[in-house]
Structure 1
Amino acid sequence: MRRFDGQTALITGASSGIGEASAWRLAREGARVVLAARGRERLEALAGRMREAGHEAEAVPTDVGDLGALAGLVARAVELGGGLDLLVNNAGVNHRGELERIAPEQLAQIVQVNLAAPIVLTRLALPHLRARRGAVVNVASLAGRIPVVHEATYSATKFGLRAFTFALAEELREAGVRVTVVSPGPVDTGFFDGHLEEVPDLVFSQPMSTADEIAELVIECAADGRVERMRPRLGGYLATLGYLLPSLRRVLLPTLERKGRAAKARYIASRRGAS
């Protein structure tokens, strides 16, 4: 028997990257997947490909940054699936740069999409998840373990998402609802496209993962309820150690930035070579 036979999963940010990879993995494990993202054409094309492959998939185009649209999204997912077993809060956005150079509406978007939307969606989904003793998987970042320069607001939302996860996991333990978080380092998706030069060197100091590798962590968290998984694991522990011991972070930071600078240059060269 497959791990998610007969279950319904709602995935945000599902049209590409980690969200798309998670949708495919869940579908192969027997889940009915409800796909949410802003881009209607791309989302419906993905749902069509999944149905052609023999999976149950439905597209519900939604901008999760519009908090007023989230009740309708949850209601539609429940209608399509006859209930809800899994919520994957994966949608994310970032605007990099010095804080004073980022427009207020862009800052608001980061907070709305990365933190407010997962909180509100989880709140709306909880009655249905309680009924089926389901699960929530939040996709955060190693930037939620150590702040990244020029990504202050993004880091703040990921710290917040991890804190929300840990607190709610305890709150819902007796209810049987699993609340977990995946914290990846850099992932080779379209998230960096168009602004690679702006990405801080430190981000590339950790090995690059694939979307499919992170999707596997999403599946594992949904299945066993382990509160957090990281990739790379060592990078997560080092990030936490550096955060707890600022003096150590200051010593390590120049070395990590040099390592990241070299890795970033190789990554940019490989992307240009592939284009």
Structure 2
Amino acid sequence: MPVAIITGASRGLGRALAHGLAGAGWRVVVDARNAAALTFSTPAITALAGDVTDPAHRVALVAAADRLGGADLLVNNAGILGPSPQPRLADYPLDALREVYEVNVFAPLALTQLALPGLRARKGAVVTVTSDAAIEGYAGWGGYGSAKAAAEQASRVLAEEEPALRVWWVDPGDLRTRMHQEAFPGEDISDRPEPETVVPAFRHLVQTRPPSGRIRLGDLLVTAP
């Protein structure tokens, strides 16, 4: 049974991916800061409450995967939007911006560094969840968007440095999640699809293992089983 680590899995996309991989025969190690929300009914999912910015917690995640045989897949999904409503760059509080970068850039890289020896041994894969805000200049998205752009560039370089691995930076599209609602406070986002709708495309990705690169899950939905 392959093993995956998925961060930020108490809700939204992370939770949907955890259930989706567990249902496909994976053993999954997940985390989130909210321990009360980090409950699962399947023994295939091991949950560790904690903050991915905490070095000791990152060590614990990799150790939990190692006890299951070692991670074949790391999904850097945990992230934060920043202030809501999102401020323009001219008014962006720098302390908040540092936190956005800490969670969305530094913590995923630090966890990837810890997981790399095992991933190399198993010719595994690293996924970093990204957004179209990383490649488009949307007004008000300067904090989150620039952090995701940095995460994408780190993934692009990692793919060159680790050719034996698969490294994907994955854009799931607009989904009906709490973070997306925070990005559009007071607006009706009921027209956005639920996170579960992209799970078949994600499973198709990890099963077919295309070359490293930027992946839009919407592009895979037409071919995913």
1:231 Cα offset (Å):
4.8
User: Which residue of structure 1 aligns with residue 10 of structure 2?
Assistant: 15
User: Which residue of structure 2 aligns with residue 185 of structure 1?
Assistant: 173
Change over 3 Å in CA distance of 1:64–1:198 after alignment to 2? farther
Q: Which amino acid aligns with 1:148?
A: Y
Q: Which has the larger radius of gyration?
A: 1
Given that 2:202 and 2:217 are in contact with CA atoms closer than 8 Å, whether structure 1 keeps it comes out as no
Using the size of structure 2 for normalisation, the TM-score is 0.85
SS at match of 1:50: coil
Q: Note the residue ranges of structure 2 that are not aligned, 5 or more in a row.
A: 220-225
Question: Which residue of the other structure, out of 61, 71, 81, is the alignment partner of 1:84?
Answer: 71
Superposition map of 1:227-242 within 5 A: 227-233=213-219
1:67 Cα offset (Å):
4.2
State the distance in 1 between where 2:103 and 2:186 align. Answer: 21
Range 70-79 or range 146-155, more displaced:
70-79
1:102 Cα offset (Å):
3.7
Which aligned runs of 4 or more in structure 1 are off by greater than 6 angstroms? none
Given that 1:9 and 1:31 are in contact with CA atoms closer than 8 Å, whether structure 2 keeps it comes out as yes
Q: Which amino acid aligns with 2:139?
A: V
State the distance in 2 between where 1:195 and 1:180 align. Answer: 24
State the distance in 1 between where 2:55 and 2:97 align. Answer: 16
Give CA deviations for 1:212-244 in whole Å, capped at 9, x if unaligned: 2333333233223332221555xxxxxxxxxxx
Change over 3 Å in CA distance of 1:194–1:143 after alignment to 2? closer
Are 2:149 and 1:159 equivalent residues in the alignment?
yes
SS at match of 1:209: coil
Question: RCO (CA 8 Å, sep 6+): is it higher in 1 or 2?
Answer: 2
User: Which residue of structure 2 aligns with residue 60 of structure 1?
Assistant: 48
State the distance in 2 between where 1:153 and 1:195 align. Answer: 12
Given that 2:29 and 2:61 are in contact with CA atoms closer than 8 Å, whether structure 1 keeps it comes out as no
Quick one: percent identity of the two aligned structures? 34
Question: Which residue of the other structure, out of 199, 202, 215, is the alignment partner of 1:215?
Answer: 199
State the distance in 2 between where 1:84 and 1:18 align. Answer: 20
1:210 Cα offset (Å):
2.6
Are 2:103 and 1:113 equivalent residues in the alignment?
yes
Q: Which amino acid aligns with 1:72?
A: A
SS at match of 2:53: coil
Give CA deviations for 1:108-131 in whole Å, capped at 9, x if unaligned: 111011111111111110101111
Q: Note the residue ranges of structure 1 that are not aligned, 5 or more in a row.
A: 1-5, 234-275
Q: CA RMSD in A?
A: 2.3
Change over 3 Å in CA distance of 1:194–1:110 after alignment to 2? closer
Change over 3 Å in CA distance of 1:144–1:231 after alignment to 2? same
Question: Which residue of the other structure, out of 39, 44, 56, is the alignment partner of 2:34?
Answer: 39
Given that 2:17 and 2:196 are in contact with CA atoms closer than 8 Å, whether structure 1 keeps it comes out as yes
Using the size of structure 1 for normalisation, the TM-score is 0.70
Q: Which amino acid aligns with 1:22?
A: L
User: Which residue of structure 2 aligns with residue 225 of structure 1?
Assistant: 209
Given that 2:87 and 2:140 are in contact with CA atoms closer than 8 Å, whether structure 1 keeps it comes out as yes
Given that 2:5 and 2:29 are in contact with CA atoms closer than 8 Å, whether structure 1 keeps it comes out as yes
